[in-house]
Chain A
Amino acid sequence: MSAAAVAPIRLVSIGKRYSGTKALDDVSLEVAGGFVHALVGANGAGKSTLGKIIGGVIRPDDGQMFVDDQPVRYTSPREARIDGIATISQELSPMPHLSVIENVFFGIEPRRFGLVLLSQRRKRYEELISQWGFELDGNVKVGALRTADKQKVEILRAVATDARVIVMDEPTSSLTSVETKTLHRMIGTLRESGKTIVYVSHFLDEVLELADTVSVLRSGRLVRTAPVAEETEASLVAGMFGAAAAAEHFAKPEGSTAPVVLDVSGLQRKGVLRDISLQIRAGEIVGLAGLVGSGRSELARAIAGADPIDSGTIAVDGTARNIRSPADAMAAGMAFLPESRKDDGLFLELSLAANTTFADLPAVASQLGILRLAQERKKTTSLLKLTSVEPPVPSAKAANLSGGNQQKVLFARWLMRNPRVLILDEPTRGVDVAARAAIHRLVNNLASEGTAVLMISSEIEEVLGLAHRVLVMRRGSITREFGADPPLDAVMEAAFGLGGRSIA
């Protein structure tokens, strides 16, 4: 092991805020040279943000980063590269229309008189892949490669530019288990040759297997940095979640005997969803927990007709429905609040009235399709008040509202249809505390009036606070089911795939 004498990277009191919320707060740590340093934490804990700061992808608001004891302030990944720090993530994708060789040597081609020396470039490529034991055809266009091979391209590029530190942000989240093993082998090789790896992941088993050191983050703060030898999966989970955070808890009816409203059976989508069956009764809130990439959102989208399914049946109120589009799902009495309100929900340039009534325009129009604007205004105002949108002004523009109020406008849109089934994907993401509480109360009220609710949230506490039952998804299947108020760590362990009895 060729550990450098000084830690190549030192972070002192790093802070980062996103529109008022602290993504990172006073984080200090050292990354030792020649080791694999893992950053772990729940979704939103700040581990990716920290990795991006090290790689120069984003700038910290507070604190100082040192490289080789020199203070640095990167404004782009390119500047970090000059200091030998390379980042590999799915967001920083390579240029898809260029070949593997062209990508690896982009900007650092062997040149003479400004012309690229093709044969020399090829020779260097052959040297690189034999040195690192990769198998990758240099002539293939990168866009045609699988994710795992794209990562290889990025790693090759990193070593071709003599990077000393390689930041890997969730590198295995879309890899198969075989590909993951290959990547782990590559990381081993890199480490043996003296490279430093910063490894951001929420797969604890990987971290324990690969890393030398692990830093645990929770809600933007560093819990601890420790040698991996001193950690276990249980100790990491405990560090990541601490004592159960206080989220508002609602009273939950036990053992409901109300009729089943949503009945999903044998839902399949190749590579995404595996034989999903679930039932939700009238007035029941079912929480769907699981890691990002476990298939939670995909399940919600499939039920709501937003994504196609390969097989399976969906019934509402006992009637089987052939759902092939969102319109079909809506006709069956469903309403779906998608994960990204900006990409899939709001009409930012339009008024709140237009946003609210869009899914139910016939209700404010004559039979000939002529809008009754006064009626629309009245209807919108009452729905905006019901969902506590501030200000409840139908003519206000959606783009001018805060995130919480925008989300409430989307609730108003779906409440207008009086849905039998309400599917919520991350209903409080990026929403302030007051709006979050308002949304929780709203969901609880809707359920008590008989709506069947399926709710997804990355924040387990939120799921536990509201759900009458909790389903845990992992790798496209429902693997565990809990009743009301299950212990947080039990749900977490199920989500991470540790221990416990599997119902699948």
Chain B
Amino acid sequence: MTAHPSDPMASDPVDGGQVVAGDSVAADGIAGPRGRSLRRIKAEHIRDYGIVVFAAALFIYFSIASPVFLTSQNLLNLVFQNATIGIAACAVTFTIIAGNFDLSLGSIFVLSEVLGAYAAVHFGVWWAFPVAIFAGLVMGLINGLLVTKLRVNAFLATLASALTFGGIAVGVTHGGLLITPSSSVFTFLGQHRAGGVQYPVIIFAVVAIVLQLVLAYTVFGRHLYGVGDNSNAARLSGLKVDRTVIFTFVITGAACGLAGLIDSSTTGSGTSDMSGLGGTLALLAIAGVALGGTSIFGGVGSVWRTVLGVLMLGMITNGFDLLAVPDYWQNIVRGILIIIAVAIGSLIERR
């Protein structure tokens, strides 16, 4: 447990105000010989907490620059707009910490949404919930089996499965929209609020907290770090590595199914159109993971970092919109930010 007195995350809501849960297995730099340890702590802190400082700076800047930014309505909207990306990103953090990769998030999202909407139309609105989530789960299982049992590289396996899932979605909708019944049973998820807070925001928060706790405080979470850091060592320590890896894909699939369900409920339809969120979900989610500081080589990272990364990307969209900065600047700045964050991490790693 890295309970640094100066820990900037000490009051992070995701941690329930406790210590930095996500880094409980990640370690201190204090073990080195005394002389060098001071400098190392410093460098590692830049890597570990630079993102926090960065996010805070951006937050303060927008708060000052725009009178609207720092209103509860705007901040809730910010989180609401990024809830589906955030849910997918938090889940794929598991896959990435365990040393794998998933490019099929968007396609799982789209096909789950379409199948959920199809079930709502044909079998009754209640069916949308289990069908969408179960569909995502099965797609994740397929990814996991491809990667572990057929030994297909995760990058290629999920690239290929993304094409297939996306194609099936178009087949189901015949390229059009499936309009779901406008029953409040179905639409409450995306269009209603509890105590002034949109349901997707609540779901995102619950998913993030649960996944963060699982990662930091359970045997399974520990296994993910072990597999990502050194899968040989994990196997020789008695772990069934394949099973652990498959499970991360299943969780990611189910989360994308949930995200698809929320999107479908928000729009009151199911669409196989990949030009929307379905097309960018995987990239934005993984960008959020990387920006947060989770290593794409596995073994290092946490869910709270991903939350921060996703919200930072969202903050740029939101803040730039408020300040009427042209759209194209958003992606330029986002790209540069990701490069800076990842480069700092790997430069410090190489020292």
Contact = CB atoms under 8 A, between A and B. Distances in A.
Contact of A352 (B27, B230, B236, B239): B27
A393 B31 contact: yes
B29 A346 contact: no
A345 interface: yes
B337 interface: no
Contact of B26 (A326, A336, A346, A349): A349
Nearest to B229: A347
Residue of B217, B220, B225, B233 contacting most chain A CB atoms (<10 Å): B233
Nearest to A359: B237
Given A391-B31, A395-B2, A348 B218 contact: no
Interface in B226-246: 226, 229-230, 232-240
A11 B295 CA distance: 46
A369 B219 CA distance: 5
B300 interface: yes
A358 B222 contact: yes
Given A347-B229, A413-B237, A354 B222 contact: yes
A47 B299 CA distance: 37
B250 to A, nearest CB: 17
Contacts of A377: 1
B94 to A, nearest CB: 15
B230 to A, nearest CB: 5
Contacts of A361: 219, 222-223
Nearest to B300: A349
Contacts of B221: 371
Contacts of B234: 347, 358
B226 A345 contact: no
A370 B237 contact: no
Q: How large is the interface on B (under 10, 10 to 19, 20 to 34, 35 or more residues)?
A: 35 or more
B230 A347 contact: yes
B30 interface: yes
Interface stretch (A32-40, A74-82, A397-405, A479-487): A397-405
A470 B216 CA distance: 46
Contacts of B240: 325, 327
Residue of A365, A397, A398 contacting most chain B CB atoms (<10 Å): A397
Contacts of A244: none
Contacts of A397: 26-29, 31
Contacts of A362: 219
B227 to A, nearest CB: 10
A397 B32 CA distance: 9
A338 interface: yes
Nearest to A417: B238
B337 to A, nearest CB: 24
A353 interface: yes
B191 interface: no
Contact of A326 (B24, B31, B236): B236
Interface residues of A, number: 40
Given A326-B236, A370-B217, A354 B225 contact: yes
B28 A351 contact: yes
Residue of A304, A327, A401 contacting most chain B CB atoms (<10 Å): A327
Interface in B11-51: 24-32, 40
Contacts of A306: 235-236
B229 A349 contact: yes
A395 B27 contact: yes
A446 B32 CA distance: 30
Given A396-B28, A401-B31, A348 B1 contact: no
A344 B236 CA distance: 7
A187 interface: no
Nearest to A337: B236
A350 interface: yes
A404 B220 CA distance: 29
A230 interface: no
Interface string B268-306: 000000000000000000000000000100011000000
Contacts of A116: none
A346 B221 CA distance: 17
B238 A398 contact: no
A395 B28 contact: yes
B31 A343 contact: no
Interface in A91-150: none
A393 B226 contact: no
Contacts of A391: 31
Residue of B1, B28, B40, B230 contacting most chain A CB atoms (<10 Å): B230
Interface string A271-315: 000000000000000000000000000000000101000000000
B229 A348 contact: yes
Contacts of B40: 400
B26 A350 contact: yes
A330 interface: yes
B30 A346 contact: no
Contacts of A370: 217-219
A350 B299 contact: yes
A358 B219 CA distance: 9
Interface string A189-223: 00000000000000000000000000000000000
Nearest to A350: B25
Interface in A383-429: 391, 393, 395-398, 400-401, 413
10 contacts: A306-B235, A327-B239, A343-B230, A345-B233, A345-B236, A347-B229, A349-B295, A351-B26, A354-B226, A395-B30
Given A343-B232, A348-B229, A350-B299, 16 more contacts: A304-B236, A325-B235, A326-B237, A345-B233, A345-B236, A347-B225, A349-B27, A349-B229, A350-B27, A351-B25, A358-B234, A359-B238, A361-B222, A371-B221, A373-B24, A396-B30
